[in-house]
Amino acid sequence: MIEDIKHIATEAGSLIRDAFGTKFKIEFKTNESNLVTEIDKASEKLITDFVKKKFPSHGVLAEEGASFNMDSEYLWVIDPIDGTTNFAHGLPIFSVSIGVRKNSNTIAGVVYDVMNDIMYASELGGGSYAGSEKLSVSKNDKLSRSLLVTGFPYNIADNPENALEKFSALTRASRGMRRLGSAALDLCYVAKGVFDGFWEVQLNPWDVCAGKLIVEEAGGVVTDFEGNRTDIYSKKFLTSNGLIHNEIVNILKIN
Ligand code: IPD
Ligand code: CA
Ligand code: CA
C-alpha cells in the first residue's frame, strides 16, 4: 500500500513540477485569496483515477471535489497541492499530501515535497521516514528556545479564533515563528525536528491526514488547543515534540 501511495504522489509531483513557473488557469474559490489552479485539478484527477483503477472498492475525500465512496472501509484523503498560493506565485514550497484510512484510523501517510524531491512517509506502527532517513521530533524542552510554524485560513481577515492574537503571543514567547504556506510540510518539519511545534485554526482533513501520522510516528504529540487528543477533523490543531506542549497550550488558552 505505502509503495502505491508513494508511486502516485511521485507522479502527481512531476506533473506539478513540470507546470511550476508556466502559465496556467487560476480561479478563486471563497475569495480572492483562496485559489485553485488547473494543476490542482489535474493532480487530483491523476490520483483519484489511480485509486479507482487500482483499488475500486476504496473511497476518496479530496479537496477539489473529487470525493466518492466516502463510507467505504478504506478512505484516501487527498490534498493534490498543499501550498497552492505558493505554487501560483512561483514560490517553491508546496507538497502532495495523501493519507489512507482504514475504518477511520489513518494507516499510511505520504507527503511529497515536490521541489526538493523528498518523500515523507509513514505507516501506522512503523515510524516515519524522509526517503531512507528515520525521523524523530526535537528534544527541545523550552518554548523560549523553540522555533514554531503556523499558517492562516483563507478567512484570516475575520481573525477566526483570535488567530492573530495567538500568533502575536506565541511569537513573543518563542525563538521565532515561521509561516511557510503548506501545512502538510509544516507537520513533516516537526516530525524531522526542524520545528518544535505547529498550530493552526480551521485546517481541513486533507491538510493534516498524512502529516498527523508522520509527526505522531516520529514521536510528536497532536492535540487541540486545550491539550486534548484530536482527530484530522479538528478545527484547532496543535502539534509539538511533546516537551513544550503544555507551555504552548497555556498560551493558546488565554489568547
Ligand atoms: C493551505 C496550506 C496553508 C494553510 C492553509 C491551507 P492549500 O492549503 O496548507 O499552509 O495555512 O490553511 O488551506 O489551500 O494550499 O491546499
Ligand atoms: Ca491544503
Ligand atoms: Ca490544496
Q: What is the pLDDT of residue 66?
A: 83
Tell me the C-alpha to C-alpha distance, in Å, between residue 229 and each of 98, 125, 232, 234: 22, 18, 10, 10
Q: Which SS3 state, helix, strand or coil, does residue 184 take?
A: helix
**CA of residue 127 relative to chain centroid, distance:** 17
Q: Report the b/e string of 153-189 with b at 16+ CB within 10 A.
A: bbeeeeeebebeebbeebeebbeebeebbbbbbbbbb
Complete domains list, the chain, with CATH:
2-134 (3.30.540.10), 143-254 (3.40.190.80)
Residues 27-38 pLDDT 10s: 999 999 999 999
User: Which ligand 1 atom lies nearest to the CA of residue 40?
Assistant: 16
Q: Which atom of ligand 1 is nearest to the CA of 94?
A: 15
Q: Please indicate, yes or no, whether the overall pTM of this predicted structure exceeds 0.95.
A: yes
Q: Which of 36, 119, 118 is nearest to 79 (CA)?
A: 36
Q: Ligand 1 centroid to 85 CA: how many Å?
A: 8
Ligand 1 probe mutation, 186, 207, 236, most atoms within 8 A of CB: 207
Give the model confidence (pLDDT) of 203-231 as tens digits: 999 999 999 999 999 999 999 999 999 99
- 89 C-alpha to center of ligand 2: Å? 16
d(CA 83, ligand 1 centre) in Å: 5
Given this model, what pLDDT does residue 139 score? 98
- Closest ligand 1 atom to Cα of 79: 16
Q: How many Cα atoms are found within 13 Å in the side-chain-facing hemisphere of 24? A: 22
Ligand nearest the Cα atom of residue 86: 1
pLDDT at 216: 98
Identify the nearest ligand to the CA of 84 by its number. 1
Mean pLDDT of the chain: 97
Nearest CA to ligand 1 atom 13: 153
Rounded (to 5) percent helix, strand, coil in the chain = 35, 25, 35
**pLDDT at residue number 153:** 95
- 36: part of which helix (H) or strand (E)? strand 35-37
Query: Which residues, judged by CB distance below 6 Å to any ligand atom, belong to the binding site of ligand 1?
Result: 79, 82-85, 151-153, 181-183, 200, 203, 207
Candidate from 65-69, 83-87, 99-103, 119-123 with smallest mean pLDDT: 65-69
* Mean predicted confidence (pLDDT) in 151-167: 96
